[in-house]
Amino acid sequence: MTILDIPSPNFDDRPPGVGAELLVLHYTDTTDRAETLSYLLDPAREVSAHYLVDEDGAVIRLVPEAKRAWHAGKACWRGMRDVNARSIGIEIQNPGHRCGYRDFPAAQIDAVIALGRAIVTRHGIAARDVLAHSDVAPSRKKDPGELFAWERLAQAGLGLYPSHVAPRHRTTRSFGPGDADEAVLDAQTLLGRYGYECPATGVLDDATHAVLVAFQRRFRAWNFDGRLDGETHARLRAVIALAGA
């Protein structure tokens, strides 16, 4: 894989003894590569990522992997709150929900897979820790969103995706915002075990709703209404089993 270096000034050192444990995937939410680079290279923006993958599959390195890029913002995964310090960030060129969200081209996904597999091999990143930006910041972020090819990545050995899950679980009702039930408590516990920040209160509060939307965008993209139903609960259990969590 050919990688073009266009250094960004927006990075700093990782804390002593801290390395990359997570791989976080984003979309750029911009109209084209030129706009993306003007944003990621601007010192005043204080935003960057380690890599940018364009729609034609071109890969640009912006920040060395040994450094902390500023891509995740306020985020949390498995109790880790300085996600930037413990992650590699890949920006994937796409207009996003703000600018005309569309499918990711095959060449782009191929490049993300090749780059991502090389990164997780170098750093020993577990499959359960290949993440969407929306996983680590569910109340703020949607990216890379419901059109992203998570199942294809998992089939190529990058990340997790539960295939062929029967929509059966003891949850026969559908729970929405404000509902309280043991099934909600169970789902919150499982979401927390996987890595989401989701306090187990037994009430489907705003924070839990945001986490369910993030989970569904990734693992049940055809319906991300944020409700807890039998299918979502079954897929959550399947993800937990894949992750060994």
Does the pLDDT of residue 245 top 90, yes or no? no
Mean pLDDT value of segment 134-139: 98
- Output the CA torsion 210→213→214→217 (10° steps): -160
How many helices (H) and strands (E) in the chain? 8, 8
Sheet holding 87-92, edge to edge: 3-5, 59-61, 51-53, 87-92, 22-27, 130-132
DSSP string, 126-182: -GGGEEEHHHHSTTT--TT-TTS-HHHHHHTTSS----S-----S--S-B-TT-B-H
CB 28 within 8 A of CB 146: no
Please tell me what DSSP assigns to residue 69: E
User: Could you list the active site residues?
Assistant: 91
Q: What is the spatial distance between Cα 123 and Cα 151, in angstroms, rounded to a whole number? A: 22
Per DSSP bridges, beta strands 51-53 and 59-61 are antiparallel
Other CB atoms within 10 Å distance of the CB of residue 224 = 20
157-209 per-position pLDDT tens digit: 999 999 877 655 555 689 999 999 999 999 999 999 999 999 999 999 999 99
State what percent of residues in the chain have pLDDT above 90. 94
Rounded average pLDDT over 75-91: 97
Q: Averaged over 216-225, what is the pLDDT?
A: 96
User: Which is higher by pLDDT, 173 or 20?
Assistant: 20
What's the pLDDT score for residue 202? 97
Structure tokens at 128: 């359960």
pLDDT surpasses 80 at 144: yes
pLDDT of 167 reads 57
Place 70 in a pLDDT band, splitting at 50, 70 and 90.
very high
What pLDDT, on the 0 to 100 scale, is given for residue 218?
A: 97
Mean pLDDT of the chain: 95
**What predicted TM-score, i.e. pTM, was given to this entire model?**
0.96
